Chains A and B, each alone.
Chain A
Amino acid sequence: MKNSKVFILKKTIYKMKKGVSPVIATVLLISMVIVLGLIIFLWFRGMIVEEGTKFGKNVKLVCEDVNFKASYSEGILSIVNLGNTPIFNMHLRIFEGKGYDTLDLKEKYPEDWEGLNSGGTFSQQIDGEVGNADKLTLIPILRAKSSKGEIPYICGDEYAREVEGI
Chain B
Amino acid sequence: MLLQDKKGVSIMVGYILLIVGALVMGGLVYQGLKTYVPTEIIDCPEGVSIFIKESDYNEEDGSLEITLVNNGFFNINGYFIHATTTQEQKVATLDLSEFIKEGGIKGGGFVLSLFEPNDEKPSNFEGIDIEIYSIQIIPMRFQKEDSRKRFVACGNSKINEDLNHK
B-contacting residues of A (Cβ < 8 Å)? 16-18, 21-23, 25-27, 30, 53, 55-58, 61, 65, 67, 69-71, 73-74, 76, 78-84, 117-123, 164-165
Which residues does chain A contribute within 8 Å of B41, judged by CB atoms?
Answer: 65, 84
Q: Which residue of A lies closest to B155 (CB)?
A: A82
Chain B 55-90 per-residue mask, 1 if CB under 8 angstroms from chain A, else 0: 000000000000000000000000010100010111
**Contacting residue for A119 out of B3, B4, B110, B156, CB 8 A:** B110
Q: Which residue of B lies closest to A59 (CB)?
A: B35
Whole-angstrom CA separation of A4 from B124 in the bound complex: 118
Can you add 10 more A-B contacts, CB < 8 Å, to A26-B8, A73-B86, A118-B153?
Answer: A23-B8, A25-B8, A61-B38, A78-B92, A80-B82, A84-B152, A118-B140, A119-B140, A122-B93, A165-B90
**Contact across chains for A119 and B138 when beta carbons are under 8 A apart:** yes
Chain B 127-166 per-residue mask, 1 if CB under 8 angstroms from chain A, else 0: 0000000001010100000000001110110100000000
Chain B 80-106 per-residue mask, 1 if CB under 8 angstroms from chain A, else 0: 101000101111111100000000000
Whole-angstrom CA separation of A71 from B136 in the bound complex: 14
A-B contact pairs, 16 of them (CB 8 A): A16-B1, A22-B6, A22-B7, A26-B8, A57-B39, A71-B91, A73-B89, A74-B86, A78-B93, A80-B138, A81-B155, A84-B42, A84-B152, A121-B95, A123-B94, A165-B90
Whole-angstrom CA separation of A126 from B141 in the bound complex: 34
**Contact across chains for B80 and A119 when beta carbons are under 8 A apart:** yes
What is the distance, in angstroms, from B108's C-beta to the closest C-beta of chain A? 9
**Contact across chains for A121 and B38 when beta carbons are under 8 A apart:** no
Number of B residues, CB within 8 Å of A: 38
**Contacting residue for B90 out of A26, A58, A67, A78, CB 8 A:** A78
**Contacting residue for A58 out of B35, B86, B89, CB 8 A:** B35
**Contact across chains for A22 and B8 when beta carbons are under 8 A apart:** yes
Q: Which residue of A lies closest to B32 (CB)?
A: A58
Q: Is B36 an interface residue (CB 8 A)?
A: yes
Q: Is B43 an interface residue (CB 8 A)?
A: yes
**Contact across chains for A123 and B153 when beta carbons are under 8 A apart:** no
- Would A120 and B109 be within 8 Å (CB), given that A56-B39, A71-B91, A80-B92 are in contact? yes
Which residues does chain A contribute within 8 Å of B80, judged by CB atoms?
Answer: 119
Q: Is B11 an interface residue (CB 8 A)?
A: no
Q: Which residue of A lies closest to B82 (CB)?
A: A121
**Contact across chains for B93 and A16 when beta carbons are under 8 A apart:** no
Which residues does chain B contribute within 8 Å of A121, judged by CB atoms?
Answer: 82, 91-95
Which residues does chain A contribute within 8 Å of B152, judged by CB atoms?
Answer: 84, 118
What is the distance, in angstroms, from B139's C-beta to the closest C-beta of chain A? 10
Most B-side CB within 10 Å, residue of A55, A65, A82: A82
Which residues does chain B contribute within 8 Å of A84, judged by CB atoms?
Answer: 41-43, 152-153, 155
User: Which A-B residue pairs are the 4 nearest by beta carbons?
Assistant: A82-B155, A26-B8, A119-B80, A71-B90
Q: Which residue of A lies closest to B17 (CB)?
A: A30
Whole-angstrom CA separation of A69 from B82 in the bound complex: 13
Q: Which residue of B lies closest to A18 (CB)?
A: B3
**Contact across chains for B8 and A16 when beta carbons are under 8 A apart:** no
